[in-house]
Amino acid sequence: MSTVRERITEIIKKHVKVSEDQLLDSANLGSDLGVDSLTLFEVILDMEKEFSCEIPEKDSNNIVSIGAAILYIESKIQDGSAK
């Protein structure tokens, strides 16, 4: 089974043309990877589908980096609200 990191980076790569070496936990989705607000919305929707969870808007505003996305989804998996 793929790790949370692998699943999230695959989602991001689907929406943004970046090289593997740019997909660092510290990479800011906007300034480092060029994710605009519409693309971020699409990434969030894909994360909800991939992990079978709901990401409220207030939480999605805090997903500003790959690392933040990983930590958020891992916390949802731990509390049983994501797969």
Which residues are identified as catalytic? 36
Taking each helix axis as running N to C, give the angle between helix 4-15 and helix 66-78, from 0 to 180 degrees, rounded to the nearest 10.
130
Check: CB of residue 10 under 8 Å from CB of residue 47: no
**Contacts for 44 with CB less than 8 Å, ≥ 6 apart:** 55, 60, 63
Check: CB of residue 23 under 8 Å from CB of residue 13: yes
